[in-house]
Amino acid sequence: MNPINNFIVQFVKILPKRVVYIFAKKYVAGSKLEDAVKVVKELNAKGIIGTMDVLGESITKKSEAEETKRHCFEMLDAIKNNNLDANVSIKPTSLGLNLDKEFCYKQIEEIVQKAKEYNNFIRIDMEDTPYTDDTFAILTRLQENYNNVGVVVQAYLRRTFDDVVKLNKLKTNYRLCKGIYVEPEKLAFKGKQEIRDNFVKVLDKMLSDGNYAGIATHDDYLVRESYKLIEEKKISKDKYEFQMLYGVTESLRDKINSDGHRIRVYVPWGENWYAYSMRRLQENPMLAWYITKSIFSFK
Ligand code: FDA
């Protein structure tokens, strides 16, 4: 991040939360589950699918993981009761991966089991590299008994193509994204184009081997390249979908929708909106400038 953007981010960090909420509300459905239900209903009305996520990561007590699990159950109930077209995304560290791997596995299995009863699906988000192997281990163990669970892979990681070669043998349901965490150069590609090239290479492998791919990007270059692959390989519409974050590049989202591709939007909600919003801000330097302008016009 350049020094000006870095300054803006540091500046935003010292602002009162209610001021930061001015920009956060664009990216977060709200602090309550009913806020997320409302957003998903609106998306569904436009033909867009949802994935709900209760905000929170790296907890410090097992009771917090159990609370996250309860929220996941509530989301699954809400999806069923409101007849929503949506599934649920979970973060392993919000379910105790950083505390006790077996405990975390059990929490996730309960969620996947409940989703199975409801004919729903659980997406396991991918966090930073200390958790990559453990997350794949949880996934492959679950895949022995469940087919309603999938994982995320990150195109910026050098290991990802090899991971996908292995996981394809289990007919894995993927979300492919660039990757959001700061990783060392030894583990991750750093150049914009080399990350894009790896994204396309990994997507090609997923689709060629007949796996389901959630193509999670707002990068119009990658959307175009994905369109090309889908067309060249004659991939049927039930083998892929596009995915975007709530509040980001809505015009591209609507174009993909009107081009007739399935598209899913990630709808985060919860009391922990502040940490999530700070991450979104650090990711997008343009946003920092945006926020600064809105803060001053607000005052
Ligand atoms: P890029 O960052 O180049 O963005 C392209 C354009 O989109 C930007 O120029 C900007 O205009 C806009 N844009 C992108 N992000 C924006 C933002 N936050 N705010 C405003 N504008 C933005 N990562 C991870 O490590 N693990 C995970 O499990 C997930 N899960 C996930 C789910 C879904 C549905 C999505 C869409 C993304 C993720 N990610 C993720 C995040 C992902 O790794 C990546 O950081 C972002 O999607 C940004 O990468 P793009 O491919 O969009 O390209």
Q: Of all atoms in ligand 1, which is nearest to the CA of residue 178? A: 43
User: Using an 8 Å Cβ cutoff, are 50 and 38 in contact?
Assistant: no
| Ligand 1 atom nearest residue 192's Cα | 3
Residue among 59, 148, 152, 56 at smallest CA distance from 109: 148
- Strand ranges, E, within 8-81: 49-54
Three-class SS of residue 190?
A: coil
Calculate how far, in angstroms, residue 96's C-alpha sits from the geometric centre of ligand 1: 25
Which residues form the catalytic set? 125, 175
Residues with CB under 6 A from ligand 1: 125-126, 152, 154, 175, 177-181, 216-219, 243-245, 248-249, 266, 280, 283-284, 287
Nearest residue by C-alpha to atom 37 in ligand 1 = 216
Give the whole-angstrom CA distance, residue 132 versus residue 6: 28
Q: Nearest 5°: phi and psi at 217?
A: -160, 155
Distances (CA, A) of 236 to 147, 153, 270: 20, 22, 36
| Cα–ligand 1 centroid distance for 245 (angstroms) | 7
Residue 209: φ, ψ to 5° = -90, 5
Which of 201, 194, 266, 209 lies closest to 240, judged by CA?
Answer: 209
What letter does residue 272 receive in the DSSP assignment? T
Which pair of structure tokens corresponds to residue 18? 């209610």
Closest CA to 288 of 279, 297, 299, 298: 279
Tokens 């801000």 identify what position? Answer: 281
Q: Can you give the pLDDT of all 299 residues of the chain as single tens digits?
A: 567 667 777 777 788 888 777 777 888 999 999 999 999 999 999 999 999 999 987 789 999 999 999 999 999 999 999 999 999 999 999 999 999 999 999 999 999 999 999 999 999 999 999 999 999 999 999 999 999 999 999 999 999 999 999 999 999 999 999 998 889 999 999 999 999 999 999 999 999 999 999 999 999 999 999 999 999 999 999 999 999 999 999 999 999 999 999 999 999 999 888 877 776 666 665 666 555 555 554 43
Cα 108 to ligand 1 centroid, rounded to whole Å: 25
The token pair at 119 is 């004919």
Distance of CA 108 to the CA centre of its chain: 16
Q: What sign does the CA torsion over 82, 27, 229, 203 have?
A: negative
Give 97's contacts (C-beta < 8 A, 6+ positions apart).
104, 127, 131, 134, 135, 138
Tokens 């067309």 identify what position?
Answer: 231
* Ligand 1 mutation target, pool 163, 176, 218, 265, most atoms within 8 A of CB: 218
Index of the ligand 1 atom closest to the CA of residue 243? 34
DSSP 211: -
Crossing angle of helices 273-283 and 285-298, rounded to 10°: 120
Q: What are phi and psi of 136, to 5 degrees?
A: -65, -35
Centre of ligand 1 to C-alpha 63, Å, is 31
Place of tokens 């150069």: 185
The pTM score is 0.93
Q: How far is CA 226 from CA 171, 237, 240, in A?
A: 20, 13, 10
